[in-house]
A and B are shown apart, each in its own frame.
Chain A
Amino acid sequence: MQRILIANRGEIAVRIIRTCRSLGLQTVLAASAADLDSVPARLADRTVCIGPARPADSYLKVETIVHAARATGADAIHPGYGFLSERAALARLCESSGVVFIGPTAAQIEAVGDKLRARAEAEAAQVPVVPGAAVTEVDAAVAAARNIGVPLLVKAVGGGGGRGMKRVDVLADLPATLELAAAEAGAAFGDARVYLERYVASGRHVEVQVLGDGEGRVIHLGERDCSTQRRYQKLVEETPAPGLSQDRRTALHEAAVRFAQRLAYRGAGTVEFLVDKERDTFYFLEMNARIQVEHPVTEAVTGVDLVAEQIAIASGAGLRLQQGDIRLSGCAIECRINAEDPANDFRPSPGQVQEANWPHLAGVRVDTHIAAGSRIPPYYDSLMAKIIAHAPDRAGALSRLRQALAATRVSGVHTNLAFQARVLASAEFQAGGFDTGFVARLLGVSA
């Protein structure tokens, strides 16, 4: 493998280019017309314009991406996260076109993308799932819902990441909600199937990073607590998850490994769990078959370059690490800095950045594609940067992160910097171990 086409933009494109450079690999960035003067476009060895700004006409065009890879002599495609990273169609076209897809197989993407199928695989791997049921017809669904109990969630089989969910508090509302949820799921995901799951009132979002060689060997790289969320969008992530007993932590790691082993998973992936605080147990939520936004906290405590491992596995070098090689050292916390306006319901704030001074502090890493003068187009997500602090313990990491936020200066667009500082300063965050209702409580709104 000598040349990698990066089918993504923003900070993750910069992140992938950085590892490619350290490995002596050339990079081709597939960029939309809106991103031709972006930082990753300047850093890549070559940038090709794949289409207009609108993602559907550029970053989401499977055939165009693969054509661009072949025509520029790239051996492999790194999809980053979002966009085409979990589209089986891209993995499949790569497989049939002689281009290496840096990620799992198309079949694995399909297995975890179908949430009902993923639930079944979890059960087969003896990984607990939230009590729930597939929905075939309304009467049976109402009967199943009686067993599950209310409140419950109606979830889209093709959904995930907080998308395609509806809460039902009264059984009588279920038939109407089912109908609406199915119609919306059909429109949003091209798959009208829905299923029922118990609503866990007080849950923590804890996920486990895994690497698999595609032959059945899987290791884990510890967990991340991503309970600091607003409307299912993660804001702060940390590792290790505070306040978990060693038994619970080990059980989570082992469950993630069992799940990925069952799929003979290839590459980097994340198995998400809901840790039920009331019942003191945990459930499988879903698996993300890609590199995650929050992967740097895992890199901070393990010293492993996850993108380099993705590339090694994809290039046929296999899984170079044994479980015993993974040593988790200290604590790391990441803050996402978004171009959004907390005073206006966190509305995205695209525009031109005037000043962007990111912190340079010991134990602090910044992943960003934003510099003074950078434009934040309105077509894409609002992530500007990730600030990651690492220290021997949680208090030290938190202190470093708060210093790092205080030392950051961004102007020209609204950002959530001050809001993130408020999150980190709150007593509940400082205590750690809270559920996903934390940010709503901080904002004084219902979850």
Chain B
Amino acid sequence: MSLTAADVAEIMRLVEQSGFDELNLEINGTKISLRRGSPAPGVPAAPAVAAAPAAVASTPKPASDPDVQDLPAPLLGTFYRAPKPGAPAFVEVGSQVSDDTIIGIIEVMKLMNTVRAGARGTITEIIAADGALVEFGAPLMRVRKSG
């Protein structure tokens, strides 16, 4: 099956009427990316969502070693290093992590949010203390990247 021009027009019409700003579609190897045009005059452009938190003023400078990177807090909340009090920490200095490795929990009004490393390497430093308030973008740990 391949997409005809009429199919594409129909898809565009559906996106136009939907609440979505962007569509990425792949059918049998055919890829379509649709994005809404610039907004109407008078409406500020929809801000892009930063995939990774931007560096913030209160964040200490990352280590000068280019292979060492900060793992920033993805949201403001109370940081916990272990799944429950008394349990072993998710990671320690020296732990090997990959993108999906859970490195802690950030609690916001009793809602527990899992924090993943988002990088591959070895933890070299734990910066945020267990039970501390961490701000959005604040460094939680440092990792020496590998691979």
Contact = CB atoms under 8 A, between A and B. Distances in A.
B111 interface: yes
Contacts of A67: 76-78, 107-109
Contacts of B133: 48, 68, 71-72
Contact of A63 (B41, B44, B49, B109): B109
Interface in A150-209: 187
The interface residues of chain A, by DSSP majority, are classed as mixed
Nearest to B49: A54
Contacts, number: 76
Contacts of A53: 47, 50, 54
B93 interface: no
B135 to A, nearest CB: 4
A187 B19 contact: yes
The 7 closest A-B pairs by CB, nearest first: A71-B133, A63-B109, A49-B135, A36-B57, A49-B136, A51-B136, A379-B47
Interface in B29-45: 41-42, 44-45
B138 interface: yes
A430 B44 CA distance: 33
B62 interface: no
Interface string A81-104: 000000000000100010000000
Given A49-B56, A345-B42, A379-B44, A64 B137 contact: no
B44 A52 contact: no
Contact of B56 (A36, A346, A350): A36
A235 interface: no
A93 B109 contact: yes
Interface residues of B, number: 26
Contacts of B135: 48-50
Contacts of B49: 52, 54, 57
Nearest to B19: A187
A348 B46 CA distance: 12
Contacts of B136: 33, 49-52, 58
Interface of B: 19, 41-42, 44-45, 47, 49-50, 53-54, 56-58, 75-78, 107-109, 111, 133, 135-138
Most chain A CB inside 10 Å of its own CB: which residue of B19, B57, B135: B135
B76 A51 contact: yes
A186 to B, nearest CB: 10
Nearest to B106: A67
Interface in A37-71: 37, 47-54, 57-58, 63-64, 66-68, 71
A344 B45 contact: no
Most chain A CB inside 10 Å of its own CB: which residue of B19, B49, B111: B49
A229 to B, nearest CB: 15
B106 to A, nearest CB: 10
A53 B109 CA distance: 21
Interface residues of A, number: 32
A347 B42 contact: yes
A393 B47 CA distance: 45
Contacts of B44: 348, 350, 378-379, 382
B54 A64 contact: no
A145 to B, nearest CB: 27
A74 to B, nearest CB: 12
Contacts of B137: 33, 49
A52 B76 CA distance: 10
A66 B107 CA distance: 12
A57 B52 CA distance: 13
Nearest to A36: B57
Contacts of B45: 378
A87 B132 CA distance: 28
A421 to B, nearest CB: 22
A64 B108 CA distance: 6
Contacts of A72: 133
B47 A64 contact: no
Most chain A CB inside 10 Å of its own CB: which residue of B75, B107, B138: B75
Contacts of A71: 78, 133
